[in-house]
A and B are shown apart, each in its own frame.
Chain A
Amino acid sequence: AQSVTQLGSHVSVSEGALVLLRCNYSSSVPPYLFWYVQYPNQGLQLLLKYTSAATLVKGINGFEAEFKKSETSFHLTKPSAHMSDAAEYFCAGGDNFNKFYFGSGTKLNVKP
């Protein structure tokens, strides 16, 4: 079965520091990959998506992710963390059979 794995259920960074959230996918065919953010008591919001175009994908709020087939990875980065980035982040994949699969999530804490 296809899946995505997020390494680290909790990540803590200082304000202004680099944010790196890790995601690896398991797929026998090129997947479609997404990053979502979920703030407390809210639904998920799409940050960015990879659909086999450019391997470096830029999203909202200064986030970007790079698709690396050789590493089966799609890590999310942001050069400088803001307090408002504190939330839970989910990596997700989709296949050609209209099935979606989410990772277990990474909670990002931003320290002042």
Chain B
Amino acid sequence: ETGVTQSPTHLIKTRGQQVTLRCSSQSGHNTVSWYQQALGQGPQFIFQYYREEENGRGNFPPRFSGLQFPNYSSELNVNALELDDSALYLCASSPATTGGVTDTQYFGPGTRLTVL
């Protein structure tokens, strides 16, 4: 069984640019959540997608957007990058039946984004 994979592993962008991060969920999982983990901090919830619809959102501005595809893979898009966007971005999938928070999440290794 293939676990959650994320690409790219590392990425360097400059302020004002746009970035797209990708996540392939574990086989059979229909829910994907995205998190931002700044250095030395805990993950911050960005949003969750369940069956291609946004199913919950944290306190992130609209320039953070996402997509979930019919095969349940997902993208995180960030526009107008700021220096504070530098972080590890984690994707997690779960075999949700309801899209709720009680389903166990399986995390990918993350994408390290550096904004210069």
Contacts and interface: CB of A to CB of B under 8 A. Distances in A.
Size class of the A contact interface (CB-based, 8 Å): 20 to 34
Nearest to A103: B42
Interface of B: 4, 33, 35, 41-45, 48, 55-58, 90, 92, 99-102, 104-110
Contact of A43 (B45, B55, B110): B110
B56 A98 contact: yes
A43 B107 contact: yes
B104 A46 contact: yes
Interface string A23-41: 0000000001000100001
Interface string A69-107: 000000000000000000000101011111111111100
A45 B99 CA distance: 19
Given A44-B90, A90-B43, A100-B33, A95 B109 contact: no
B41 A43 contact: no
B110 A97 contact: no
B109 A98 contact: no
Interface centre among A92, A103, A104 (most CB of B within 10 A): A92
Contacts, number: 64
Nearest to A99: B56
B74 to A, nearest CB: 15
A95 B101 contact: yes
A32 B57 CA distance: 17
A49 interface: yes
Nearest to B46: A100
Nearest to B98: A98
A45 B41 contact: no
B109 A99 contact: no
Contacts of A45: 107
Contacts of A46: 104-106
Given A94-B102, A100-B33, A100-B101, A44 B56 contact: no
Interface centre among A6, A97, A99 (most CB of B within 10 A): A99
